[in-house]
Structure 1
């Protein structure tokens, strides 16, 4: 079974490192770097990723920003996507904060301007340590502010998908996600009628603070 990992807004895939280490090596694991994808819109990004996947059957793991990419992949690849695991993700606008973030000037998207106390509260539910926050900053420094701005706009402009997907899906839902509203999770449930929700204690960056728990859900999804 091949597992394809689609990263959050930084797009690097570096923040998947601990999660990947907890996935047994018997699985073929591929992390897609969004910063190597030329497409700007969600659909364009999905089309280019679909070309990389080709004819193989895959389980797609989509974190945060990449939820809509996973949805578009389901539309493009059909049954070749055996299952989707969403991690603190969304296919419609996740909430008011997303709309507010989209109006920030590019200058304010530099990681050194994001104080630890705010990152800890919003992203980690107060659980993030300095090492994790430094990892987030290191990942963001590898992305041009213009690319981050475009992704924020993509999120803010998301409409609710009109077409349901028959693909089996699992949602890893942090118990205290301050960035993805419950209404956005409900939309996912409408789009994927057989969506299974797995609660994991923590904040939005759940794959980073609870990699073992998230890995167990992903591995279980390959057999159920």
Structure 2
């Protein structure tokens, strides 16, 4: 049996280079592909949507997964109802600009403050702690360091501004396919408010919480893959029934 394809739109880095373990965990049930974003062009959400749209499968059912920053892109694409889209997965993501748990500042303010940080000189250990929490390890820092060094600070600042201004909540009502939200219980960047807002807009959406940091797909790739497979089997069974 030919595996269903799963198209992954990566988080803020836009590369998908840290998703290899998750891609492997999705096999053999899914043939998983990551659509990388240009490293050298500060493209906004509108431009990234137009970059992704022609790369979506046209002749066979697929899942679309939006990780973190890419959630608004995945939501808007799903709202346009591509003919072969079988399901939408949002991972540690948001429909409206998120804020960290317990932060009194708005997401827009936080994104402006973050945009002033010397991104090219951010210590790998600090970034690993924020993104991976207790899952941070020497091997992960070895993988993360070269990736951080390869990112263009101007591109990253532009993505921070885009995420800090995002609000695609209204588009959730136009999505016709099943929706799964993977929530990281130890997320230090995206609070539970992001899932609650999506859940209110789409009461039929399913949320699966995983003991994980913001880098859920990286730290808990097998658990994420198992959750996606189980959810896909549920709605596939309902269609057959």
> TM-score normalized by structure 2?
0.82
Instruction: Describe the SS at the equivalent of 2:218.
Output: helix
Q: Map 1:96-115 to 2 at 5 A.
A: 96=105, 98-99=107-108, 100-105=110-115, 108-110=118-120, 112-114=121-123
Equivalent residue number for residue 66 of structure 1? 70
Equivalent residue number for residue 86 of structure 1? 90
> TM-score normalized by structure 1?
0.88
Larger Cα Rg: Structure 1 or Structure 2?
2
Equivalent residue number for residue 126 of structure 1? 134
Equivalent residue number for residue 203 of structure 1? 213
Q: Map 1:13-28 to 2 at 5 A.
A: 13-25=16-28, 27-28=30-31
Instruction: Describe the SS at the equivalent of 1:5.
Output: strand
Could you give the per-residue CA deviations for residues 58-87 of structure 1, whole angstroms, max 9, x where no partner exists? 201111111001001112244432111111
Paired residues of 1:172 and 1:214 also in contact (CA < 8 A)? yes
Structure 2 CA distance for partners of 1:195 and 1:104, relative to 1, 3 Å:
same
**1:214 counterpart (200, 224, 237):** 224
Question: Runs of 4 or more off by more than 6 Å in structure 1?
Answer: 36-39
**Gap runs ≥5 in structure 1:** none
Worse-superposed segment, 186-195 or 65-74: 186-195
- CA positional deviation for 1:104: 3.9
Paired residues of 2:81 and 2:176 also in contact (CA < 8 A)? no
Instruction: Describe the SS at the equivalent of 2:130.
Output: helix
- CA positional deviation for 1:141: 2.6
Structure 2 CA distance for partners of 1:188 and 1:133, relative to 1, 3 Å:
farther
Aligned length: 222
Distance 2:193 2:114 in 1: 24
Paired residues of 2:8 and 2:65 also in contact (CA < 8 A)? yes
Q: Map 1:104-183 to 2 at 5 A.
A: 104-105=114-115, 108-110=118-120, 112-114=121-123, 116=125, 118-163=126-171, 164=173, 165-183=175-193
Worse-superposed segment, 172-181 or 92-101: 92-101
**Gap runs ≥5 in structure 2:** 100-104, 235-241
Equivalent residue number for residue 42 of structure 1? 45
